[in-house]
Amino acid sequence: MSHIPISVTVDGTTYDSEVEPRTLLVHWLREDIGRVGTVVGCDTSSCGACTVLLDGQSVKSCSVLAVQADGQSITTIQGLAEGEDNWHPVQTAFKECHGLQCGYCTPGMVLATVDLLGENPTPTEAEIREGLEGNLCRCTGYHNIVKSVQYASDLMSGGAR
């Protein structure tokens, strides 16, 4: 199969690569450039585990082809706040509110939350639940994920909620 050259910036580093046209963005991230923080949970675009920010917008990286990301910039969970000592407010909130257990849905949940709060900095509980509808978590029952998002909103808006 012929390969197509792409150039994508991931977490601040630009990668020049050649991919099969059918390669999904998530597989390119994980297998070609070793950004394994982003994970795969399904094959029907149902779970949201693979969510990344593509030019600031959250997308399911299993439903985007790598070639479609050519020339764009991606933020994964590994680049949201580089290094374990740096914390994005959403990451802090998930830790403080116990918004994760096994952590498999977490990269997607966190990035979906970043996007959600970008669009609606002070969402209601119902807006949070609707906003995260595309991200499945099997461990937490969502109760503490909702609390995490509310707390992140507090942190990011300086308590304006």
Partner 1 sequence: MTDTLPDSLTTQSPMGRPLRRKEDARLLHGQTNWTDNIQLPGMLHMAILRSPMAHAHITHLDVTPALSEPHVVAAFSAKELGDLNGAVPCVWPVTDEMQAPAFPALAIDKVRHVGDCVAVVLATDRNAAFDALEAIEIDYEALPAVIDLEAALEPGATLVHDAADSPGTNECYTYHLPGTGIPYDEAKAKADVVVKRRFINQRLIPAFMEPRAVVASPMGVSNEMTVWSATQIPHILRVLLALVTGLPENSLRIIAPDVGGGFGGKLQIYREEILAVQIARHLGRPVKWTETRSENMVATHHGRGQVQDIEIAATKDGKLLGMKVNLLADMGAYLQIITPGTPLLGMFMYPGIYKMDAYDFNCVGVFTNKTPTDAYRGAGRPESTFAIERIMDELAAELNMDPMELRKKNWINHEDFPYATIAGLVYDTGNYEAATAKAIDMFDYAGLRAEQERRRASGDPVQLGIGISTFTEMCGLAPSRTLGALKYVAGGWEHCTIRMLPTGKVELITGTSPHGQGHETAWSQIAADILGIDVDDIEVVHSDTGRAPYGMDTYGSRSLAVGGQAIKKAAERLIEKARVIAAHQLECSIDDLEYAGGAFRVKGDAEKAQPLAAVAFEAFSAHNLPDGVEPTLQAESTVDPQDFSYPHGTHLAAVEVDTETGKTTLRTYVCVDDVGVQVNPMIVEGQVHGGLAQGIAQAMYEGVEYDEDGNLLTASLADYLVPSAADLPSFTTSTTETPSTTNPLGTKGVGEAGAIASTPAIINAIVDALRPMGVNDVEMPASPQRVWRTIQEAKAATA
Question: Pick from 67, 90, 93: which is nearest to 77 by CA?
Answer: 90
Q: How far apart are CA 66 and CA 27, in angstroms?
A: 8
Asked if 140 touches ligand FES (CB under 6 A), the answer is yes
The CA-atom distances, in angstroms, between 82 and each of 16, 41, 42, 73, 113 are: 21, 24, 27, 16, 18
Tokens of 90: 């959403």
Considering CB distances under 5 to 8 angstroms, the limit depending on partner class, which of ligand FES, partner 1, none binds residue 50?
ligand FES
Asked if 65 touches partner 1 (CB under 8 A), the answer is no
Amino acid at the residue 56: G
Asked if 142 touches partner 1 (CB under 8 A), the answer is yes
Task: Tell the smallest beta-carbon distance from residue 77 to ligand FES (Å).
Answer: 13
Asked if 123 touches ligand FES (CB under 6 A), the answer is no
Asked if 135 touches partner 1 (CB under 8 A), the answer is yes
Specify the stretch interacting with partner 1 by CB under 8 A; choose among 42-50, 53-61, 63-71, 114-122.
42-50
